[in-house]
Chains A and B, each alone.
Chain A
């Protein structure tokens, strides 16, 4: 990692050149909400002026730019009673601008899931390798809890990361590509003062979190509380709409669908991002559903996020961005669900082993 400092204007010029030369995505305001608040999404950008540098948070994560909502896995071409299968996974290079530390951490988690383990995904690899990521820090929103998940800082997975230190940005350069690009722009070596400012900035960010979700020991709680009534309680609210998984930066499960072209000359096998909250996620032919109730499915989503699976070393995959909580129309959010689970557990502990009465 190489560190540089760049003035805000120069940085803007750099970003402008970068996004003009490449297919790029960055935060843009797409709407104004009911209470006048701006709504942002990662959208195609072709100049710095289109980018909302001071955006708060995007409704949806940047996940779909590396793992598209719909992606062709292969194509069959039919001819004379036979077929040929065509597999392509070339990915056009893209720039992702303005990702937050939690977003980059989320991509690192996806890397682990998709590239570790016995069967790394070449589809994912192609896209991931061809993605140039520029990160930016920000002050957390009142409901961000990435600090609780220890995902509020990031040290890998990006090409360039910009921390706001007042008049300029403190740049962490994590790839030779980024370093080369920056050669054309005016940067300075960080002075001691810049270092201080960076530390101050980090401290400020760390102190600004208003939401804390206690996740220590959560994997065990989840195992112990597998049959807890809180799942039914929250499940009864859940609409099975999958919105949470669509906007989540680390939800990655999918469905595979095959579509025959109308002319019947070919057929396309497509991966389509899915969600374990959807009713037929675990349904098999004949109609048997391994998770028939809303509560079973909701529980499973929490189980995946906060217990973690062997494929990524039993790491929790939630990064604490609270996109799911903000998007859920039924007001289901990790903070309250987990608190509920803990309360449940704690009250249970006290009834199993009552502490001696105090007089």
Chain B
């Protein structure tokens, strides 16, 4: 009888995750990422509005915590064991290495499970994934941050970055619009951003209630209030597609080049690594080539808007 069995040695399989070299196969890969995430403890939960909460996470393993670094605009795959995974923008400061903050709206399976979780519960994160805002290129320029609703979640990281390097940036304005006053998130930080970070912060609400004393209308009407040095301004616009489209069209009319406006796209995601194809916009992966795109690219992407 011929013995024609073959196998590959067990030690070549079941490698630990995040090993830096792929097991042979003559590929020059940088990362072998498995499904394993960094285990995190939910250290704090701050209610922000009826449907949004801020979750503060701390990576349990000190070594992993030290390894974890990200750039403004990147996202995580947040795993709630037993429920699933969802892509979430990192909403904390890049300089803040002890905790990760995620601002999350209750939407479906994963996010609802998270809303049931108590502080002290364990979840996991994979990442960070995706592109980021070109914070360095924006130095020595004016920066216009524009958010609509939950769009403030990906915008907090660049905001904190600017705060950390305030001297490098010229005038910084933050325009924030929400449907209703009660949906305005992080209002408790507004004063600090204005006075300590010297950010020209302006808010507007579409459908005001009795208590609202500020401006009402669409976010684009805030442009009347500020002067924009179009030659020297970079913009970051985060919000639902209709919102960033109208804002960017407006900014384009004012004369800001489209490749100096940045938006963050949202698509269904199941891997974050360019494998599941769920996040494709035309032939572009939102998870690899995005979520941060300059507006010129977005305009040229098939099925982007």
Interface membership of chain A positions 6-24, coded 1 if the CB is closer than 8 angstroms to chain B and 0 otherwise? 0000000000011011100
CB contacts under 8 Å to A, within B134-163, are none
A87 touches B36 (CB 8 A): yes
CB A26 to nearest CB in B, in angstroms, measures 14
Q: Which of B15-43 contact A (CB under 8 A)?
A: 15, 17, 22-25, 27, 29-37, 39
- Chain B binding surface, main DSSP class: loop
Interface residues of B in 269-297 (CB under 8 A from A): 270-271, 273-278, 280, 282-285, 288-289
Contact of B283 among A76, A90, A125, A307 (CB under 8 A): A307
Taking Cβ atoms with an 8 Å cutoff, the residues of B that contact A are 1-8, 10, 12-15, 17, 22-25, 27, 29-37, 39, 81-85, 107-108, 111, 120-122, 124, 266-268, 270-271, 273-278, 280, 282-285, 288-289, 302-303
Contacts of A220 in B (CB 8 A): none
Kindly identify which residue among A115, A226, A269, A282 contacts B29, using a CB–CB cutoff of 8 Å. Answer: A115
Q: How far is the CA of A126 from the CA of B81 in the complex (A)?
A: 25
| Majority DSSP secondary structure for residues of A touching B | mixed
- Tell me if A132 is interfacial: C-beta within 8 Å of chain B: yes
The answer to whether B5 touches A254 (Cβ under 8 A) is: no
**Minimum distance in angstroms from B138 CB to a CB of chain A:** 25
Query: Would you call A285 an interface residue if the criterion is a C-beta within 8 Å of the partner chain's C-beta atoms?
Result: yes
Contact (Cβ within 8 A) A119 B274 = yes
**With A22-B6, A118-B31, A258-B84 as contacts: A282 and B36 at CB distance below 8 Å:** no
* Residue in chain A with minimal CB distance to B270: A256
Binds B, one of A52-60, A78-86, A137-145, A333-341: A78-86
Partner of B32, one of A78, A120, A303, A307: A120
Residue of B4, B29, B82, B303 near A22 (CB, 8 A) is B4
How many Cβ-Cβ contacts under 8 Å join chain A to chain B?
184
12 pairs from A and B in contact (CB 8 Å cutoff): A22-B4, A114-B275, A115-B29, A118-B288, A122-B22, A181-B2, A254-B276, A258-B82, A260-B82, A267-B82, A286-B107, A310-B283
With an 8 A cutoff between CB atoms, is A311 at the interface? yes
Q: A21-B2, A90-B14, A125-B23 are in contact. Are A256 and B276 (CB under 8 A)?
A: yes
Give the distance in Å from the alpha carbon of A17 to the alpha carbon of B280 in the complex. Answer: 45
Kindly identify which residue among B3, B17, B23, B111 contacts A129, using a CB–CB cutoff of 8 Å. Answer: B23
Q: Let me know if A149 is at the binding interface, CB within 8 A.
A: no
Q: Which residues of A contact B278 (CB under 8 A)?
A: 253, 255, 274, 281-282
Q: How far is the CB of A59 from chain B (nearest CB, A)?
A: 23
Nearest neighbor of A183 in chain B, beta-carbon distance? B2
- Do the beta carbons of A309 and B27 come within 8 Å of each other? no
What is the CA–CA distance of A17 and B124 in the complex, to the nearest angstrom? Answer: 47
Q: How far is the CB of A242 from chain B (nearest CB, A)?
A: 13
Q: Kindly list chain B residues whose C-beta atoms are within 8 Å of the C-beta of A88.
A: 14
Q: Is A117 an interface residue (CB 8 A)?
A: yes
Query: Is the pair B277, A21 in contact by a Cβ cutoff of 8 Å?
Result: no
Whether B22 contacts A125 by the Cβ 8 Å rule is yes
**Could you tell me the distance in whole angstroms from the C-beta of B61 to the nearest C-beta in chain A?**
12
Given contacts A21-B2, A126-B13, contact A283 B268 (CB under 8 A): yes
A215 beta carbon closer than 8 Å to chain B: no
Instruction: Evaluate whether A311 and B274 lie within 8 angstroms (CB atoms) in the complex, with A115-B27, A120-B22, A226-B302 already known.
Output: yes
* Bound-complex Cα distance A110 to B189 (A): 49
Q: Which residues of A contact B85 (CB under 8 A)?
A: 256, 258, 269
- B-side contacts of A122, CB under 8 Å: 15, 17, 22-23, 32-34
9 A-B pairs with least C-beta separation: A253-B277, A119-B273, A285-B108, A285-B107, A73-B35, A74-B35, A76-B81, A17-B2, A120-B29
Q: How far is the CB of A72 from chain B (nearest CB, A)?
A: 9
B-facing residues in A95-140 (Cβ within 8 Å)? 113-123, 125-126, 128-130, 132
Contacting residues, chain B, for A93 (C-beta < 8 A): 5-8
Among A303-359, those with CB < 8 Å from B are 303-304, 307-311, 314
How many angstroms from the CA of A304 to the CA of B302 in the assembled complex? 12
Q: Shortest beta-carbon distance, A146 to chain B, in Å?
A: 23
Pairwise interchain contact A290-B268, C-beta atoms closer than 8 A: yes
- The reply to whether B7 and A130 form a contact with Cβ atoms under 8 Å apart is yes
**Residue A195 at the chain B interface, CB threshold 8 Å:** no
In the complex, which residues of chain B have a beta carbon less than 8 angstroms from the beta carbon of A119? 29, 31-33, 273-275
State in angstroms the CA–CA spacing of A113 and B288 once bound together: 13
- Which residue of chain A is the closest to B80 with respect to CB atoms? A258
Chain A min CB distance to B27 (Å): 5
Which residues of chain B have C-beta atoms less than 8 A from A129's C-beta? 8, 12, 23-25
Compute how far the CA of A181 lies from the CA of B219 in the bound complex, rounded to whole angstroms. 72
Question: Which residues of chain A come closer than 8 Å to B267, judged between CB atoms?
Answer: 282, 284, 290
* Residues of chain A within 8 A of B282, CB atoms compared: 226, 303
Interface pair B13/A308, CB less than 8 Å apart: no
CA distance A123 to B10 in the complex (A): 14
In this complex, the member of A81, A93, A113, A284 whose beta carbon has the largest number of chain B beta carbons within 10 angstroms is A284
Assess whether A118 is in contact with B274, with CB atoms less than 8 Å apart: yes
Cβ B84 vs Cβ A256 within 8 A: yes
Give A35-52 as 1s and 0s: 1 = Cβ < 8 Å from B's Cβ atoms.
000000000000000000
Q: What separation, in Å, do the CA atoms of A208 and B47 have in the docked complex?
A: 69
- Distance from B5 Cβ to chain A, minimum over Cβ atoms (Å): 5
Partner of B276, one of A123, A253, A269: A253
Asked whether A210 is an interface residue with its Cβ less than 8 Å from the other chain, the reply is no
A115 B25 Cβ-Cβ under 8 A: yes
Kindly state whether residue A184 has any CB partner on chain B within 8 Å: yes
Cβ contacts under 8 Å, B271 to chain A: 254, 256
